[in-house]
Structure 1
Amino acid sequence: MTTELPRSLDGTGPDRLMSVVHRLVGGVEWLHRNSRRRTAPPSPVDRDIPLVISETRDEADGVRSLRLTRPGGGPLPAWQPGAHLDLLLPSGRKRQYSLCGRPGERSHYRIAVRRLADGAGGSREIHDELAEGDRVVARGPRNAFPFIGGRSYLFVAGGIGITPILPMVRTAMARGADWRLVYTGRSRASMPFLRELAELPAERVWIRPDTEFGIPAAGTELLAHAAEGAAVYACGPVPMITAVRLALPVSAAKGLHWERFSAPPIVDGREFTVELARSGRTVEVPADRTALEAVGEVLPDVAYSCRQGFCGTCHVPLLSGDVLRRSRARGDDLALCVDRGRGHLTVDL
């Protein structure tokens, strides 16, 4: 397989720094794949749950939490740390938000949403248009970031990435496991749930805002808090995840499990086409976009969740064509979010 170098910001040539980072990340990919315990992709959860927003709360600058309950009361489906909801908004938008309440609490769900002024509109709708008493529909819960039992953990969260990590920390405490938490962000004002974290043992929690240190944390700095053999659970922006992955081989940690809130960057894209057999349409997928994005423009209801290639939600039957695998999809499936075609593909959509 040949690989294109990432382009520089002005588009005039290869970005040498990012090319080096890309090769380094690829070099540790084997270690990640073999240190992370394999888990089967979760089965799709298609039940629709009508919910009412029973409480909203500002948790940080630009971050609001929503407490969601059944309109008539009653228990909600159980969930495990790392799980999220597909939230179907009144506008028709569908967004995924991690559950960040207390595991085992079934009277309500809690999610937290950062308002993105230049986003696709879902966070703005939640912040600007929804209020207590409004109704939404959720699908799930489903879990693409499962928390696996162990004796020692290092949790690394960046900004809104604290949402799936917080239930994991509470679960580790309840199990009596050894754990540490490193929480980074631009500033304390931008970091949600600091009041709740202040209730945890101070010697186990390190709050590291960039404004107090001058620069973002390096991967070695983050992993320096890992006990020997600790499992690392990380959630946050792509640069933070990349830094942790690069530093993992020289740390005391045993393995890495991560989730990010954006799709992985496309660094070696090639144009290809996807024929939708049942719809009778053919979609062109540009080199810098995913099949999920392109197909979503003609089939807005196409299901997806993690956008990282492992949850299984967007897997569709592959009828023909040669696939460049970036997922754990079976040989007769295509993961629309990350898999790419070599030429022309036909899928059952």
Structure 2
Amino acid sequence: MTATTQAPWTMAVGPWNTGPVVAVANARGRQFNFQVDDSSKFTFTLNGNDTVFQYITELVTDVWVYRYGQLFWRGRIGATSDAIDEQSNVVTLNCFDYREWLGRQILGPGATLSWRAQTSAKVINDMLVWILGRPGLQPQLTLDASGLPTSTINFDTLVGGTVKDVVASMNGFGWQVIPVSQLGLNLKAVSPFYYRRNDVFVMEYGGAVAQVARSLDTGNFADSVFASGDMALAPIVQDATGIATAPQGRIMAAASDPSIVDHSHLVAFANQQATNMQLVAAAWTCVLKKGVWINQADAWVGDIIKFIVKSGRININDNYRITQMDLTLSDDGADHQVNLTLVKPPFMPY
């Protein structure tokens, strides 16, 4: 099937293992949620009497979304709900991407769980080979490791972990699962992508940005940590450096890691937690003006962009990182609205 290009945004559905077979013309309330460190989601509604439902089955049907005829996103239809009354019959469909699919693929007995002096690419590929070699129909999923470092690492995991969680626990790179053809998928793991500097896309309130909201959550702040490890290990209290003169005074929090079995590692854990818990960063949500963002080439989750706001007590002209994107498509497929969440990055890439 060839996607229609009558509108900038179009979509189609079909069996996940054979491809799109029919266009979806009457979807409403279409909304994406993209996060830099998690799975993406897509939600839309249809009239329960729409004939396209003969092609839709939960956990079997995939959705392909196109931008000017180019494949933009692909995911599986999961949870659905029906709201029926005398005036309407509305079905809400929730779709998950293939990063989330990897969250349901578990490393069982027989899988490789320990690597010594191997590259990150080797570790991830071993997990994929094991998962995709299990009985049953499997997606066409490959690893794109072209952006990963070639240095070697030592890495261990436990039986029973999901591929999604295990890959997420590896340090130094970000990753998503993206469609590269109608059926082909790449686990794209790229080190520079995780903190990618974007010097072209400028977000200025009064320019590209129509509305700004700031949220500063102090609930997780602490400068003293009650840290515990294994049940046989005595817990400790670790104060942050400079607590004696800290203007906030003593504010405590508890942190636990049952895998720690000796005192020296517990002290290191507590010190790290006491440092991390002092970092309270504001999150910014920005509503972009229509037409400012066209596609991923402009800006994407993970990008570090110039952020400028001057209003009242707020005076910012600095680099901020996009950690979330909410993309809402108009019902006629001709337009879209973009909301971005930004945070101050811990460092700037060169």
Question: Structure 1 length as normaliser, TM-score?
Answer: 0.24
Answer 1 or 2: which has greater strand percent: 2
Higher relative contact order (CA 8 A, sep 6+): 2
Answer 1 or 2: which has greater helix percent: 1
Question: Structure 2 length as normaliser, TM-score?
Answer: 0.24
